[in-house]
Chain A
Amino acid sequence: MNFTIASLAVGEQGIIQQDPNGQIPLILLEMGCFPGANVELIQIAPLKDPLYIKVNGSHLAIRKETAKLIKIEKSENLCETLKL
């Protein structure tokens, strides 16, 4: 299953996946949101959008539509797999 930042729940973390098609906007890359980085969802705005994330030490608010472009692997899933 394909996860994106938009599929995280508050407090969950994930690792940003490779982006072969260049879907992640340059400004986000420049602010530290690039493949391999750990991303945590800090808060969701009251109307479910935008999302407040922490990535590479940067605290950023991005819209859901942008978050959906950024594929991740949920860190939690990894833990669950390990437990199994």
Chain B
Amino acid sequence: MRDAEIIRVALVGNPNTGKSSLFNELTGLKQKVSNYPGVTVERRIGMAKISKDCRAIISDLPGTYSINPTSIDENIVLQTFLNTDVDDYPDVVVLVADVENLKRNLFLFTQIKDLEIPVILVINMADQMEKRGISIDIEQLKKELNAQVVLISTKKNIGIDQVKSAILNFKEVKEAPFSQIAERIDPSFFPLLNKQFENLSLYRSWLLLTQHQRIDIDSTLKDQIQKVNLNGHNLSKMQNRETILRYQLINGILKKTYKVDTKAATGLRFKLDKILTHKVFGYVIFASILLVIFQSIFDWASIPMDFIDTRFASFGTWVSSQLAPGVFTELITEGIIPGIGGIVIFIPQIAILFTFVAILEETGYMSRVVFLMDRIMRRFGMSGKSVVPLISGTACAIPAIMAARNISGWKERLITILVTPFITCSARLPVYAILIALIIPETRFGVFSLRGLTLMGLYLLGFAAALITAFVLQKVLKIKSSSFFVVEMPNYKLPILKNVGITVFEKTKAFVFGAGKIILALSVVLWFLASHGPVDFKNAEAIVTEQSVNTNDAQLLNQEIEAYKLENSYIGIAGKSIEPAIKPLGYDWKVGIALLTSFAAREVFVSTLATIYSVEDSEETNTIKERMAAEINPDTGKPMFNLPVGMSLMIFYAFAMQCMSTLAVVKKETNSWKWPLLQFIGMTIFAYTAAFITFQIFS
């Protein structure tokens, strides 16, 4: 049963029309981001109060230029409209259009209208009309389109109430198709088609016929489609005819209703394009923006990160002083608190990166980067559109790999997916940050610090590894894919802070709760494995006391007992068993434990060492860095984390595929285990070899 009080609204529109702004305006923060079943496409759903006693569930569908999809994201739009039996089939569609590109936006409008579903046309950026010399005869347009039309400006917050009341009165919106276009495409074919699918409208059956490979439909319908006799008709020619016919009708309507005084158009786009895509300045500006991003991740983020680190350390101390000693207290202070700390510490970096990416997208600059970089990226078997995933990869490979979906060519997309994990993601940063602080002196060269330069070097190394691997893959992979690279170059816009804020908040939240669950769970498991063990572990006290009968120093004895316990705990045994394999890289079994757990997620490295050393270190609770600096290599008697070991570790982390979540996403996106496995094995071998060479060079 469907609730009569709740109206289901689907928000559709071209990209860059302010569709998501309208969504934010309608729903406020009452929105939820989840995934569509089976695919990793983000599904944004929000609740809007339409009137005193009526609410609407609004789903923000992926932006698209046409109902005929060219990517997985756009498939969702088609799927939503072809599945009439599902619960979230919309009652009414709100189509958001940009006043400047009304013609192209109306193209999608006519397609949706032909599905015989009520559509409200919302024309956004109405505040720009005067400046651009545009005038629209709304009443005439309503008549011509046989639909409700609302002028709004999400930027100036104008017209939102009219949208709400149009949704409220959706039953008054006519469901009639835009035109009998299907019959006009080919009068000899469409009546036949109509006979085959008698219970479906003509346009629906036409979409099923042309797009059935792209959507999930039941097998009886599939059989029915396969049986359709084309009688020598060429589907793609008919699709082309359909497109041109639609534009002819739209042109006819706009001639009567839409006027542009071209003289009023501003030259801002032209001027900015001249600079931002200039053959020298274009690249200089792009490089500077990247530099600012990286600088801010390391510099600005370090202040809140240090704060979080020390807060969690002292919080742990405080909690353990408040609670009675016992297993439960240990679980909290040694398992859960460092575990949560290991998640929270990422928030500053992730949020800063997502903010930059959101601003670059919102302003329209990202399309210029795609334009600038396409030729270069193609040398490496990728597309200009690969730049977005590669930049997002500096925050987290998971959303980055999903962003690769916009790349229409399969080979270009696959290569982008395969090399993105080489990009220094924020999970590597805490590893780098702590190792750099331990092994690189605080030397300064003018404005540059040696530590900052080392980090920069590691970033560049990640990019270089991604590009070189892509270059090799391009030569090795024998995949033929035909697709067309089309990028819209939107008008430049000032970013709407609310939108940027919501995007950053949602993405950071998704990261914290997604990756956070794994990190927290692992921390607790680790704590358990480090504080439990077989027989030797249980008898540690007796064994150590017996061995060191001559030691009278109680504190020293206690330390030896703790060390012995760790060595004989489950995790110690696991670490010891891989020690021979990692010895050539300069690591001991404790680092080995951290490596093992890092295969679940890299960032666990720091919290693992924190857990291990805090189990071992029984007296006082220090920051993670202090604990690591105090660690002594028993073979040499010198600090464990010296230059060769630190460098070797950083190189290992730069190249190794240590993230379960990423592998899971790659599996989903490529629809096969082959690619994530290849990625995992290839990157690990590469990392091992590179770390080995590094250790030998620096030793």
Contact = CB atoms under 8 A, between A and B. Distances in A.
A79 B104 CA distance: 29
Given A30-B68, A63-B485, A45 B277 contact: yes
B81 interface: no
Interface string B349-369: 000000000000000000100
Given A57-B103, A58-B488, A60-B487, A45 B236 contact: no
A34 B487 contact: no
A66 B102 CA distance: 25
Interface in A25-39: 25-32, 34-35
B243 A34 contact: yes
B494 interface: no
Contacts of B277: 43, 45-46, 52
A61 B374 contact: yes
A59 interface: yes
Contacts of B240: 19, 22, 24, 26, 29
B236 A22 contact: yes
Given A32-B104, A49-B375, A50-B375, A61 B243 contact: no
B376 A30 contact: no
A19 B241 CA distance: 11
Nearest to B66: A30
A62 interface: yes
Contacts of B491: 59
Contacts of A43: 273-274, 277
B243 A52 contact: no
Interface string B484-524: 11111111000000000000000000000000000000000
Interface string B459-501: 0000000000000000000000000111111110000000000
Interface centre among A26, A27, A30, A61 (most CB of B within 10 A): A30
B282 interface: yes
B243 A29 contact: yes
Contact of B484 (A28, A32, A42, A47): A28
Interface in A4-33: 19, 22, 24-32
A77 interface: no
Contacts of A83: none
B54 interface: no
Secondary structure at chain B's binding surface: helix, strand, loop or mixed? helix
Contact of A66 (B68, B100, B107, B485): B485
A56 interface: yes
Interface string B267-279: 0011001100111
Interface-centre pick from B273, B484, B491 (highest chain A CB count, 10 A): B484
A32 to B, nearest CB: 5
B273 A52 contact: yes
A62 B485 contact: yes
Given A47-B376, A61-B374, A32 B486 contact: no
Contact of B486 (A45, A46, A48, A61): A61
Name the residue among B102, B107, B485, B491 with the largest chain A CB count within 10 angstroms: B485
B488 A46 contact: no
A35 B485 contact: no
Nearest to B489: A59
Contacts of B489: 52, 59-61
Given A43-B273, A50-B374, A34 B247 contact: yes
Contacts of A42: 270, 273
Given A29-B240, A45-B374, A52-B489, 10 more contacts: A22-B240, A26-B68, A27-B68, A30-B65, A34-B244, A46-B282, A46-B372, A47-B376, A57-B103, A62-B484
27 contacts: A22-B237, A27-B68, A27-B486, A28-B484, A29-B243, A30-B107, A32-B104, A32-B247, A34-B244, A42-B273, A43-B277, A45-B375, A46-B282, A46-B283, A46-B375, A49-B374, A50-B384, A52-B273, A52-B489, A57-B102, A60-B487, A61-B370, A61-B487, A62-B485, A62-B487, A63-B374, A66-B486
Closest 6 CB pairs of A and B: A46-B279, A47-B375, A59-B489, A30-B66, A61-B487, A29-B243
